[in-house]
Every structure is written in structure tokens, then in C-alpha cells.
Amino acid sequence: MLCARPRLPSPSWQLNGVPKPVRWNMPSAIAAALSITLAVCSPFVAAQAAAPDPRVGRADRVVSLTRALVKGVDQCFNPAHTRGNTETRNRLIRLERTALNAKSSLTSGDARRMAQTATELKAQWNAFHERAPIAARFHCATVRQCMELGFEGHPNYPQCQPVNGNRRGNIQSIQFQELLHVVPQLLNDLSPRR
């Protein structure tokens, strides 16, 4: 929003129908106009000058990615694997809630809460690297590899198709790779500064 220049009254006024010139004290009139402009515009300028915190932006990105990937489980994962799909959804939902807590603690600057959130996020990140369930170990060694495999495009799933023959070219797989990239950055953001 641009601040408009204040309009000064007309330099003439009428007395008995005859316009009479008004003599302005120009330096004081300019000073008054500038002070009014500053009073009106300074909150807008200050709001535009404050740069957003990139740490909060990363927390927002984790939230949006996890929300999209919860839907992606229904689009890409084999519907016959209901137990594994439910576990993946729950894992992503927990990660989303932790990212929301991270955003809140970053915004408020609460160091104790930030440390607690960092601990929770680290535990959830480490859980991505746990060994896969026994039934899935034939296909993938870790939970992360199983999730990567699940988000790959499949010709039988209309909302999760390979892109130009690339099974990892679909949006869900790309979002999952981005999530794997952003979570460690958010963990770094939450670690105490020395």
C-alpha cells in the first residue's frame, strides 16, 4: 500500500464572496504535512521492512508437505497394505503436529519449548531410519526406504503415475524427497545457538 501525499487546503478563502489570498508559512506547512505522512505511513513501512524468519518458513513447509503426503499415501500406496499405510499416515501426522509446535515455539521464542520440540522432532526423524517391519524387509531395509518405495509412481494408480517413465518423477515422490531435505534443516533451526 502506498501512502498518498496529504493535500493541503487551498491557499485562498472567501470572505464576503471575495477570495482573499492566504499567506502560508511554507516551512511549517511542509513540516506538518511530512509529520502527518510519517505518522500514517510508518507502520506500513515497518511491516514491509521486517523480513520473515526463514525458520518459521521451514516449519510451514514441513507442515504443508506432510499434509500433502498424508493424501499421497491414499494415492500411491498399495491399498492392500492397510496396516503399513495407517502407520505411514500416523507417522506423517505426528511429524506435522511437531512442525506446528516448532513454528509456535520459534514464533514465541520460548527456548524451553523449542528444546522439547527439537527432541521430539529428532526422535521422529530417527524413526524414519529404523529397520523396516519384517514383512516389508524383502522390498526395503528401513522405514524411509519403504516410504520412498510407496510414494513411487505406479501405472495402476491414476493419481500416482510415473512421469515419462520415471517412477520418482511424480509429485508425491518429489514432495517426500523435499520433506527428507527440509526436516534436518528444521532440526538445525531448533538446536540451541552457541
pLDDT tens by residue, 139-172: 889 989 989 999 988 888 888 888 888 888 889 9
Q: Helices 171-190 and 143-151: crossing angle, nearest 10°?
A: 140
Residues 18 and 82 occupy one common structural domain: no
Answer whether 176's CB lies under 8 Å from 118's CB.
Answer: no
Please name every residue paired with 131 in a beta bridge, in sequence order, or none if there are none: 142
User: 10 Å Cβ neighbour count for 58?
Assistant: 22
Residues 30 and 125 occupy one common structural domain: no
Grid cell listed for 35: 509529520
Residue 3 lies in a domain: no
Residues 18 and 75 occupy one common structural domain: no
Residues 44 and 104 occupy one common structural domain: no
Domain carrying residue 36:
12-49
Residue 65 lies in a domain: yes
Name the CA radius of gyration of the chain, rounded.
29
Q: According to the model, what pLDDT value does residue 166 have? A: 84
The pLDDT of residue 84 is above 90: no
Residues 174 and 81 occupy one common structural domain: yes
Answer whether 90's CB lies under 8 Å from 53's CB.
Answer: no
Residues 29 and 103 occupy one common structural domain: no
Residue 31 lies in a domain: yes
User: 10 Å Cβ neighbour count for 32?
Assistant: 13
Higher pLDDT, 6 or 156: 156
Residues 19 and 69 occupy one common structural domain: no
Q: What digits encode the pLDDT tens for the residues 25-47?
A: 556 656 666 566 666 655 555 54
Mean pLDDT on 71-98? 91
100 phi, psi to nearest 5 deg: -65, -40
Answer whether 44's CB lies under 8 Å from 95's CB.
Answer: no
Residue 7 lies in a domain: no
Mean pLDDT on 70-81? 90
pTM of the model: 0.70
Distance between CA atoms of residues 61 and 50, nearest Å: 20
Residues 27 and 62 occupy one common structural domain: no
Residue 131 lies in a domain: yes
Nearest to 149 by CA among 167, 125, 169, 126: 167
Grid cell listed for 64: 504443508
Q: Binning pLDDT at 50, 70 and 90, where does residue 62 land?
A: very high
Instruction: Count CA atoms within 13 Å of residue 88 on its CB side.
Output: 30
Q: Binning pLDDT at 50, 70 and 90, where does residue 9 land?
A: low
Q: Structurally, how many domains does the chain consist of?
A: 2
Residue 135 lies in a domain: yes
Residues 28 and 94 occupy one common structural domain: no
Residues 79 and 21 occupy one common structural domain: no
- Taking 3-state DSSP, the helix, strand and coil percentages for the chain, each rounded to the nearest 5, stand at 65, 5, 30
Residues 78 and 60 occupy one common structural domain: yes
Residue 4 lies in a domain: no
Q: What digits encode the pLDDT tens for the residues 90-131?
A: 999 999 999 999 999 888 888 899 889 999 999 999 988 888
Residue 118 lies in a domain: yes
Residues 135 and 103 occupy one common structural domain: yes
